[in-house]
Amino acid sequence: MKELSLHILDVAENGINAGADRVRISVEEARLDNRLKIRINDNGRGIPADLIQKVTDPFYTTRTTRRVGLGLSLLESAARQCNGSMHVESVPGKGTTVTAVFAYDHIDRAPLGDMTGTLISLIMGYPDVAFEYIHSVNSRRFELNTVDIKNMFDGRPVSDPAVFRKLRTLLEQGLTRLKTNED
Amino acid sequence: MARLTIDDLKKIKEKTAKDTSLRHGKASIKITVHMGTCGIAAGARDVMNSLMNEIAQVDRQDIRVVASGCMGMCSSEPNVTIEVDGEEPIVYQLMDANRMRQVFKRHVLLGEVQTDFALAKM
């Protein structure tokens, strides 16, 4: 994957395919501590304890359409090559949390990339799932919650052009502000 | 006479919206963007975003967009399936933002299947 935001899109979809209707994504850029932490939490059906060791094995997958399962293996190798690590915690019936940590300034760390594109794809592609997004750069924060947006538009669907435009503007402005303001 | 509250008005609005959406019928065109790991790595996110930008420009309530997982044909990703009511679903292969715009404008809006990009009829 060329961007970390593509890993986020991929892992968030794992949760939705596991029946989640709430996905919480957080990106923490602690530049002063030279750390980038990504966490994706869902309330899907979770991973049984005996399978959790296998999730990063590229030749293990529960799907039947093909024989390899690369999503989490790719994220783990991306984190490891940047002096980081990936952890998967899961409680069957409650949900799963995937946490990946990277050394912020590592030369092999892929850029975060187009987070707006990732969030738009998730929110539009899965209109029935509630998404929460929290992005922090040092002490600054940006938060977005699709439940708030739906309330703001009085329950109109996210596919409504007005809602879509508002969502995109909120994301673009919020993330640009986060990137450009200095502490 | 009892006064109407904001909640009453909201209820009336919801009911009317429900009734009219029933009258206009359900979505008649379903567009599926396949976004498994393979699709994402091959550029499905750009395809999805280009599709959303196109849809935002037309006033159509009967088009439904969904994301789904991998179909098992990873080498032809990004794949997009278009299902028009009463017609066979068409799977498009090796999509990118430009191809998506063309397929949306020609196939979805005008009904002309873009055979150059098609992988299969299902």
Go through the domains of chain A in sequence order and give each one's CATH number: 4-180 (3.30.565.10)
Can you tell me the distance from the alpha carbon of A19 to that of A129, in angstroms, rounded to the nearest whole number? Answer: 10
Whether residue B82 is contained in a domain is answered as yes
- Mean pLDDT, chain B, rounded, equals 87
Domain that holds residue B49: 26-121
Mean pLDDT (whole number) for B50-74: 89
Whether residue B6 is contained in a domain is answered as no
Mean pLDDT (whole number) for A140-149: 93
Q: Which pLDDT band holds residue B69 (cuts at 50, 70, 90)?
A: confident
Whether residue B117 is contained in a domain is answered as yes
The answer, for B108 touching chain A at a CB cutoff of 8 Å, is no
β-pair partners for A40: A25, A98
Residue A66 pLDDT > 70: no
Whether residue B13 is contained in a domain is answered as no
SS3 A41: strand
Distance from CA of B63 to the nearest CA of A (A): 9
* Structure letter (DSSP) for residue A44: S
Number of inter-chain CB pairs under 8 A, A vs B: 74
Q: Which pLDDT band holds residue A136 (cuts at 50, 70, 90)?
A: very high
Residue B20 pLDDT > 60: no
Q: Which residues of A touch B24 (CB under 8 A)?
A: none
β-pair partners for A91: A95
Residue A90 pLDDT > 60: yes
Most A-contacting residue of B40, B68, B81 (CB-CB within 10 A), to test interface: B40
pLDDT at B89 (0 to 100): 94
Using a pLDDT cut of 90, give the percent of chain B over it: 59
pLDDT at A34 (0 to 100): 96
Q: Are A129 and A20 spatial neighbours (Cβ–Cβ below 8 Å)?
A: yes
Q: Which residues of B touch A118 (CB under 8 A)?
A: 45
Most B-contacting residue of A122, A124, A154, A158 (CB-CB within 10 A), to test interface: A124
The continuous run of DSSP H or E covering B32 comes out as strand B29-34
Whether residue B75 is contained in a domain is answered as yes
Q: Which pLDDT band holds residue B23 (cuts at 50, 70, 90)?
A: very low
ipTM confidence: 0.86
How many Cβ atoms sit within 10 Å of the Cβ of residue A52? 15
- Mean pLDDT, chain A, rounded, equals 90
The secondary structure of A69-127 as a DSSP string is --HHHHHHHHHHTTT-EEEEEEETTTEEEEEEEEETT-TTPPP---HHHHHHHHHHH-T
Whether residue B37 is contained in a domain is answered as yes
pLDDT at B26 (0 to 100): 66
Amino acid at A79: A
Give chain B's domain count: 1
pTM: 0.86
pLDDT at A183 (0 to 100): 53
Whether residue B115 is contained in a domain is answered as yes
β-pair partners for B34: B68
Which CATH number belongs to the domain containing residue B49 in this structure? Answer: 3.40.30.10
Whether residue B1 is contained in a domain is answered as no
